Amino acid sequence: MAILPIYTAPDPLLKMISTPVLEVTDETRLLIDNMFETMYDAPGIGLAAIQVGVQKRLLVVDVIGRQQEEAAQPFAMINPEITWVSDHDATYEEGCLSLPEHYADVVRPAEIEVKFLDPDGNPQKLAAEGLLATCIQHEMDHLDGILFVDHISALKRNMILRKLLKLKKMAS
């Protein structure tokens, strides 16, 4: 397995809409393995393929992670679609591997149901609530070119993006 480079804002790739995975192949499964390895190494609890430069509708999440391996709940979701959202919302402080060291409160539906293909290409359904629901929605946003900062005020968003751009320029 390999650790993949994670693209950071304001890279224009992160604003692109990902295309469906047409066939689940060994290459797809290798990408999933590498994405999990990258996510755990970062460390993070979710990662969308676009964040590692692959414009496909694929994401990985594990809100428990390696620290509690016996309780880990890793999910790889290919072509995920939300089929239901609850009427009530939840607020979580969100961060993102593509916006390192920046956080903001984001309001999203508290519960969701999602359908997707697993790494074997089998259709799956999952009901999620709490942090898992938030994480899945966050990663699915990436597939549509949406960052968590797009859900907050323009003032806060621009402040975060200016800081990231400044850091990029300093690193060059």
Tell me, what CATH number does 100's domain have?
3.90.45.10
Q: How many CA atoms lie within 13 A of 27 on its CB side?
A: 5
Q: What is the pLDDT of residue 70?
A: 58
Provide the percentage of residues in the chain whose pLDDT is more than 70: 95
Query: Is position 162 within any domain?
Result: yes
Question: Which residues, 6 or more positions from 158, have their beta carbon under 8 angstroms from its beta carbon?
Answer: none
Tell me whether residue 6 is in a domain: no
pLDDT digits (tens, 9 = 90+) for 1-13: 899 999 999 899 9
Any domain includes 33: yes
5 falls within a domain: no
Using one digit for the tens of pLDDT, what is the confidence trace for 42-81?
999 999 999 999 999 999 999 986 565 555 689 999 999 9
Within-domain flag for 155: yes
With respect to residue 2, please indicate whether it lies within any of the assigned structural domains: no
Segment 21-25 mean pLDDT: 98
User: What pLDDT is stored for residue 161 in this prediction?
Assistant: 82
Integer angstrom CA distances of residue 92 from 20, 26, 95, 132, 150: 28, 35, 9, 11, 15
Structural domain range at position 132: 12-171
Residue 73 is predicted with a pLDDT of: 81
146 φ/ψ angles, rounded to the nearest 5 degrees: -110, 130
Inter-residue contact 80 to 136 (CB < 8 Å): yes
- If you average pLDDT over every residue of the chain, what do you get? 93
Give the residue among 167, 168, 146 at the shortest CA–CA distance from 157. 146
Is residue 7 in a domain? no
Q: Read off the pTM.
A: 0.92
CB 109 within 8 A of CB 22: no
Is position 108 within any domain?
Answer: yes
Catalytic residues, which ones?
139
For residue 162, pLDDT beyond 90 = no
> Residue 71: what pLDDT?
59
Q: Hey, which residues does 131 pair with through a beta bridge?
A: none
> What is the pLDDT averaged over residues 24-33?
98
Residue 121 neighbours by CB distance under 10 Å: 13
Please tell me the total count of domains within the chain: 1
pLDDT of residue 57: 98
